[in-house]
Chains A and B, each alone.
Chain A
Amino acid sequence: MTELRRRGGGGDPDSTESISDKEADGDDRLGFPGEGEGDMEGDSKADTPDVPPSADNTPECLNKALEGLSSRWKNWWIRGILSLTMIVGFFLIIYLGPIMLILLVMGIQIKCFHEIITIGYRVYHSYELPWFRTLSWYFLICVNYFFYGETVADYFGVLVQREEPLQFLVRYHRFISFALYLAGFCMFVLSLVKKHYRLQFYMFAWTHVTLLIVVTQSHLVIQNLFEGMIWFILPISTVICNDIMAYLFGFFFGRTPLIKLSPKKTWEGFIGGFFATVAFSFFFAYLLSPYQHFVCPVEYNSETNRFAVECEPSNLFVMQEYTLPAVVQNGVRWKTVNLYPFQIHSIALSSFASLIGPFGGFFASGFKRAFKIKDFADTIPGHGGIMDRFDCQYLMATFVHVYIASFIRGPNPSKVLQQLLLLHPEQQLSIFNMLRNHLQEKGMLPPAVEEAQ
Chain B
Amino acid sequence: MDYSSGWVEFKVEIMENWRDLGRWGSETEGRSERDGASDSETKPDTGVPEVPVSADDTPEVLNKALSGLSSRWKNWWVRGILTLAMISFFFFIIYLGPMVLMMIVMCVQIKCFHEIITIGYSVYHSYHLPWFRTLSWYFLLCVNYFFYGETVTDYFFTLVQREEPLRILSKYHRFISFALYLTGFCMFVLSLVKKHYRLQFYMFGWTHVTLLIVVTQSHLIIHNLFEGMIWFIVPISCVICNDIMAYMFGFFFGRTPLIKLSPKKTWEGFIGGFFSTVVFGILLSYVMAGYSYFVCPVEFNNDSNRFTVDCEPSELFQLQNYSLPSVLQSISGWTTVKLYPFQIHSIALSAFASIMGPFGGFFASGFKRAFKIKDFANTIPGHGGIMDRFDCQYLMATFVNVYIASFIRGPNPAKVIQQLLALRPDQQLHIFNSLKAHLTVKGLLPALEEAA
Contact = CB atoms under 8 A, between A and B. Distances in A.
Interface in B435-449: 435-436, 438-439, 442, 444-446, 448
A74 to B, nearest CB: 32
Interface string A244-287: 00000000000000011100000000000000000000000000
A205 B356 contact: no
B171 interface: yes
A11 to B, nearest CB: 14
A411 interface: yes
B216 to A, nearest CB: 11
Given A175-B407, A189-B359, A410-B424, A444 B429 contact: yes
A417 B434 contact: yes
Interface in B150-209: 171-172, 174-175, 178, 182, 185-186, 188-190, 192, 194-201, 205-206, 208-209
Interface in B403-448: 403, 405-407, 410-411, 413, 416-417, 419-432, 434-436, 438-439, 442, 444-446, 448
Interface-central residue, A186, A370, A434, by most chain B CB under 10 Å: A370
A16 B75 CA distance: 56
Contacts of A367: 201
B444 A429 contact: yes
Given A189-B359, A425-B444, A205 B205 contact: yes
B2 interface: no
B6 interface: no
A446 B421 CA distance: 19
A403 B186 contact: no
A399 B182 CA distance: 10
Given A205-B209, A428-B444, A448-B450, A39 B406 contact: no
A201 B371 CA distance: 10
Contact of A410 (B197, B423, B436): B423
B198 A41 contact: yes
Interface in B333-373: 356, 359, 362-363, 366-367, 369-371
A423 B410 contact: yes
Nearest to B432: A435
A95 interface: no
B448 A178 contact: no
Contacts of A163: none
B299 to A, nearest CB: 17
A256 to B, nearest CB: 17
Nearest to A366: B192
A39 B212 contact: no
Nearest to B416: A419
A197 B367 CA distance: 7
A413 B411 contact: no
Contact of B195 (A40, A260, A452): A40
Contacts of B306: none
Interface string B116-141: 00000000000000000000000000
Interface string A422-453: 11110111111011101100101110100110
A421 interface: yes
Given A47-B47, A194-B39, A41 B197 contact: yes
A126 B424 CA distance: 54
Contact of A420 (B206, B261, B395, B416): B416
A198 B371 contact: yes
Given A192-B261, A422-B411, A359 B186 contact: yes
B432 A436 contact: yes
Interface string A333-371: 000000000000000000000001001001100110111
A186 B259 CA distance: 12
A356 B420 CA distance: 35
A174 B406 contact: yes
A446 B431 contact: no
Nearest to A206: B205
Given A406-B175, A439-B429, A452-B446, A46 B47 contact: yes
Given A44-B46, A435-B435, A439-B425, A197 B356 contact: no
A182 interface: yes
Contacts of B407: 175
Contacts of B413: 423, 427, 430-431
Contacts of A260: 194
A439 B189 contact: no
User: Chain B at the A interface: mostly helix, strand, loop or mixed?
Assistant: helix
A84 interface: no
B48 interface: yes
Contacts of A188: 363
B376 interface: no
A390 B46 CA distance: 35
Interface-central residue, A194, A369, A436, by most chain B CB under 10 Å: A194
Contacts of B185: 359, 363, 395
Contacts of A419: 411, 416, 419
Contacts of B45: 47, 198
Contacts of B362: 189, 192
Given A192-B366, A194-B260, A438 B434 contact: no
B402 interface: yes
B398 interface: yes
A371 to B, nearest CB: 7
Nearest to B371: A198
Contacts of A363: 185, 188-189
B41 interface: yes
A325 interface: no
Contacts of A356: 182, 186
A406 B189 contact: no
B417 A434 contact: yes
Nearest to A446: B451
B399 interface: yes
A354 to B, nearest CB: 14
A411 B196 contact: no
B197 A428 contact: no
B41 A194 contact: yes
B424 A198 contact: no
B260 A185 contact: no
A3 to B, nearest CB: 20
A444 B450 contact: no
Contacts of B369: 197
Contact of B435 (A175, A359, A432): A432
Nearest to B42: A195
B452 interface: yes
Nearest to B39: A194
A206 to B, nearest CB: 7
A415 B429 CA distance: 15
A258 to B, nearest CB: 11
A122 interface: no
Contacts of A362: 189, 192
A42 B195 contact: yes
A366 B402 CA distance: 38
A398 interface: yes
Interface string B29-46: 000000000010111011
12 contacts: A46-B47, A198-B371, A205-B205, A261-B189, A413-B427, A415-B419, A435-B428, A435-B432, A436-B432, A439-B425, A446-B451, A451-B450
Given A197-B370, A398-B178, A445-B452, 19 more contacts: A41-B196, A41-B198, A174-B402, A182-B395, A186-B356, A195-B42, A201-B366, A206-B205, A363-B188, A371-B201, A416-B416, A416-B431, A417-B435, A419-B416, A423-B411, A425-B439, A432-B445, A435-B432, A446-B451
10 closest A-B pairs (Cβ-Cβ)? A370-B197, A197-B370, A175-B406, A419-B411, A406-B175, A411-B419, A198-B370, A370-B198, A413-B427, A178-B402
